[in-house]
């Protein structure tokens, strides 16, 4: 049930929006709300040690961990954080 809800949320976010991602804003959000629990090197794991191999997987991880911040992120916030992480670390394309 929990996985189904997460999938539905990720699908809704991915069906995304007319919002143009803003990686700089994503960086600011990441630094303000995510960086307190882990440092950015966590995103530099070797490919064998990460499940993030697609933009959808990155979006799912950001969505999943966003709940840990106690911050109510909007769909645009999530997309901006994903844009930042993709540009700075993952380079998964569009």
**Rounded to the nearest 5°, which phi and psi values hold at 8?**
-65, -40
Per residue in 39-72, pLDDT (tens digit) is 666 777 777 778 899 999 999 999 999 988 888 9
Q: Which two tokens mark 43? A: 């995103």
| Structural domain containing residue 54 | 2-13+22-90
Q: Which residues of 4-43 are buried (b: 16+ CB within 10 A; e: fewer)?
A: eeeeebbeebbeeeeeebbbebbbebbeebbeeeeeeeeb
Q: How many CB atoms lie within 10 A of CB 44?
A: 11
- What pTM, to 2 d.p., does this model score? 0.73
- Count the domains in the chain: 1
- What pLDDT, on the 0 to 100 scale, is given for residue 5? 52
Question: Rounded distance, CA 22 to CA 29, Å?
Answer: 11
Once rounded to an integer, what is the mean pLDDT over residues 21-49? 83
């Amino acid at each position: 049930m929990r996985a189904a809800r997460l999938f539905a949320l990720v699908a809704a976010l991915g069906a995304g929006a007319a919002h143009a991602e803003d990686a700089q804003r994503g960086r600011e959000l990441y630094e303000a709300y995510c960086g307190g629990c882990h440092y950015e090197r966590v995103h530099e794991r070797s490919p064998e040690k990460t499940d993030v191999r697609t933009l959808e997987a990155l979006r799912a991880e950001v969505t999943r961990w966003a709940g840990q911040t106690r911050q109510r992120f909007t769909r645009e916030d999530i997309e901006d954080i994903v844009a930042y992480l993709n540009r700075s670390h993952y380079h998964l394309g569009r």
